[in-house]
Structure 1
Amino acid sequence: MTELLWGKEPARTRGPKPAITLAEIAAAGIAIADAEGLDAVSMQRVADDLPVTKMALYRHVPGKAELVAVMSDLAMGSPPERPDGPWRETLHTWAIDLYDGFVRHPWLLQSTIGRRPLGPNELAWIERGLAGLVDVGLTGGEQLDAILVVTSHVRNIAQQSSTFPGHSIGLTEEDMQRSLAEILHTEAARFPRLVAATSTAAGSENQGLEFGLERILDGLDLLIRSRVAVPDRIETLPVDRRR
């Protein structure tokens, strides 16, 4: 699988040039996953959509697990180019870019979990996130942990706000808010605290993304500030020149 992720397809045996490439196969799988969900992706379905024979796919990729890994790295793509800036601004922008990627391809939330080989694009995202944490006083482990915490928050909010084709009723944010408002209107006595909280809440469901992200960055800021050496104040005493 690692070889496929890094563009090292199995050596081709003698014969005619393949009619398709691994990138084309992965692109077809991405189109299916975007429209119908990850469960809709199969070797046969991808072959039908190209169209080629199912056996033709196996000349490039051993099976669905390997195909999904290649699809995931291709769908993530390279992180957007951003100008250098203060660490907090850099990491905040990085998190929003990552969130946007999950919204474009919600199935990535399913395919990019657990222990697995990482491809060049996914590693490039981690590299870009770390760029904002260089020379701020954190150890290498703390930098990686900071990326993990931010990523986990982004993934959680994206999972709550995304619609997964084939696995969801497909409600819009407006539908969800309307449905909740109707329930709370009729069940106010049962959920008084929820009614009180929602009555003063404002903004979109993604408000939680910003709120949580700012609190994480606040915590990192405290840690970073604690690593800055502050010289002790030295009191200058008056000199008695009569001695």
Structure 2
Amino acid sequence: MDGYEVLWGARPAPRRGPKPALSLEGIARTGIELADAEGLAAVSMQRVAAELGFTKMSLYRYVPGKAELVALMADLAMGAPPELDGGWRERLDAWARALLPRFTQHPWVLEATTGPRVPGPNELAWTEAAVAALGGTGLRGSERLDAVVVLVGHVRGIAQQAAATSAESVEQQFSSALITLLREHGDRYPSVAAALTDTAGQDEALDFGLARILDGLTTLIATRAT
């Protein structure tokens, strides 16, 4: 059983008699609880088995190893995408805003969904929803896919910054650090100092970046129409 089979393999139909002692979902949810509390490094076959009250060898009947377990955890943590209504811009805006909490509530998912891998059904459903939102806009298939990649990159960037901070916002912390530096070195960076006076205390990175990406797509779609 490899990663593809774990994520995409058919689940056995319920049978009469005693229920199986373990399930893929139960194993993955235990791993999610561990990763949420202690980080992805805390997740191991041994640790998950112990949390479930079973031996490590019993888990191998369901999952071949940690890599496949983490893939299953990440897809389960992502969950299904929301239903989207409205035009393409409204749908993508809602899509991106719904995606952010999936990363911020489970920061380890950022690490687990980096690099070449087999995407799970939920992760692919998120991509499907965003690409479908751009259907009928006149954009080529590659452009629709690239637009989704850009949106995901923006959301992931915001989530990565949030994962490295406390309750204070990312921009507030960055502004505080800049203010401290510019008290002594402001004459060397006058443009930054001037801009900071208009932005200190605001936290609009998600909104600003999302709006600019969608503005760019609006221009591209208009160009295709003409």
Q: Which interval holds the TM-score relative to the shorter structure? A: 0.7 to 0.9
1:212 matches 2:209? yes
Verify: 1:113 aligned to 2:110, yes or no.
no
Deviations 1:66-85, CA, capped at 9 Å, x for gaps: 00000010000001223x21
Partner of 2:5: 3
Query: Based on CA coordinates, which of the two structures has the bigger radius of gyration?
Result: 1
Aligned residue in 2 for 1:166: none
In the alignment, which of 23, 33, 36 is matched to residue 35 of structure 2?
33
> Equivalents in 2 of 1:195, 1:178: separation in Å?
12
* Residue 197 of structure 1: how far off its partner (Å): 2.4
RMSD over aligned CA atoms reads: 2.3
The residue that corresponds to 2:15 in the other structure is: none
Deviation at 1:105, TM superposition (A): 0.9
On the 8 A contact 1:28/1:49 being kept in 2, the answer is yes
Q: How does 1:216-227 map to 2 (within 5 A)?
A: 216-227=213-224
Indicate the SS of the match to 1:227: helix
Counterpart Cα distance in 2 of 1:178 and 1:60: 49
Aligned pair 1:194/2:192, yes or no?
yes
C-alpha distance in 2 between matches for 1:66 and 1:190? 52
Residues 175, 201 of structure 2: 8 Å contact kept: no
> Which amino acid letter does the alignment assign opposite residue 228 of structure 1?
A
TM-score, structure 2 normalization: 0.86
Q: Which runs of at least 4 in structure 1 moved beyond 3 Å after TM superposition?
A: 7-10, 169-172, 174-195, 202-205
Match of 2:159 in 1: 158
Structure-1 separation of matches of 2:185 and 2:41 = 37
In the other structure, the counterpart of 2:103 is 102
Q: What is the CA–CA distance in structure 1 between the aligned matches of 2:166 and 2:201, rounded to whole Å?
A: 21
TM-score scaled to structure 1, two decimals? 0.80
In 1, Cα distance between equivalents of 2:177 and 2:201? 17
Aligned residue runs from structure 1 range 36-51, under 5 A = 36-51=38-53
Question: Which residue is 1:240 aligned to?
Answer: none
Higher helix share: 2
The number of equivalent residue pairs is 217
Going from structure 1 to structure 2, the CA distance change for 1:6 and 1:196 (only over 3 Å counts) comes to same
**Partner residue, 2:76:** 74
Q: Which runs of 5+ in 1 are unaligned?
A: 11-15, 164-168, 230-243
Percent identical among aligned pairs is: 53
The question of whether the paired residues in 2 share the 8 Å contact of 1:9 and 1:60 is answered with no
Q: Counterpart of 2:86 in structure 1: which amino acid?
A: G
Cα pair distance change 1:203/1:131, threshold 3 Å: farther
* Amino acid corresponding to residue 196 of structure 1 in structure 2: A
Q: CA deviation at 1:192?
A: 4.4
Structure 2 residue runs of 5 or longer lacking an equivalent are 13-17
Does the residue aligned with 2:158 lie in a helix, a strand or coil?
helix
